[in-house]
Structure 1
Amino acid sequence: MSRKGIKPFANESDCLQIGGITIENRVDRVSIFGSIDITRDKEGLAAAREMKTILELTLTELESADLPDKVTLRPAKTVKNPFE
């Protein structure tokens, strides 16, 4: 598990942000969207390492599974906002 606490494909609730990149966890996919500048400084290095960690964890999960040729993605479920 990464320091941010995401385990790819483990649940339908984990989500984290690295700069402008959002990574959402699902049991049938990991969605990565947004934009980030990897700057040539310590912040850029930290962001690149975190992204690398997430991708390595995702690869490990995929490589250790008996994968079908293609999955049919399940649509997202809408839930009531608990803060309303």
Structure 2
Amino acid sequence: MSDFKPYANESDVIRIGALEVENRTDRVSLTGDVVLTRDKAGLALAREILVLMEQVVKALEAEQELPDAVKIHAAKVVKNPF
């Protein structure tokens, strides 16, 4: 996960358990679920999520002029160019 840079591009996707983390330039989307069991496997997943969240917070805190809110536009359906 060290290569994941929040808000850096429109293409990175990583998985933590069944949790999918999608990178965008204006947001990081978390979908799916992850079960943090009370064992070594659960601890490993919790640590991965913690590292991810620390990266997100660090990226947001580094912004000089963070807006109050980002407007998220609905996805557009486009004609297949092929």
Q: Where in structure 2 are there 5+ consecutive unaligned residues?
A: 78-82
TM-score, normalisation: structure 2: 0.82
The aligned counterpart of 1:56 is: 54
Partner Cα separation in structure 2 for residue 76 and residue 8 of structure 1: 21
- Aligned CA RMSD, in angstroms, stands at 1.9
Partner Cα separation in structure 1 for residue 54 and residue 46 of structure 2: 12
Higher RCO (Cα < 8 Å, 6 or more apart): 1
Q: Give 3-state SS (helix, strand or coil) of 2:51's partner.
A: helix
- Residue 40 of structure 1 aligns with an amino acid whose one-letter code is R
The aligned counterpart of 1:69 is: 68
Partner Cα separation in structure 1 for residue 34 and residue 15 of structure 2: 10
TM-score, normalisation: structure 1: 0.80
The aligned counterpart of 1:9 is: 7
Asked whether the equivalents of residues 21 and 33 of structure 1 are also in contact (C-alpha less than 8 Å), the reply is: yes
Number of aligned positions between the proteins: 77
The structure with more radius of gyration = 2
Runs of 4+ in 1 over 3 A off after TM superposition: 74-78
Q: Percent identity?
A: 47
**Cα deviation, residue 42, structure 1:** 1.3
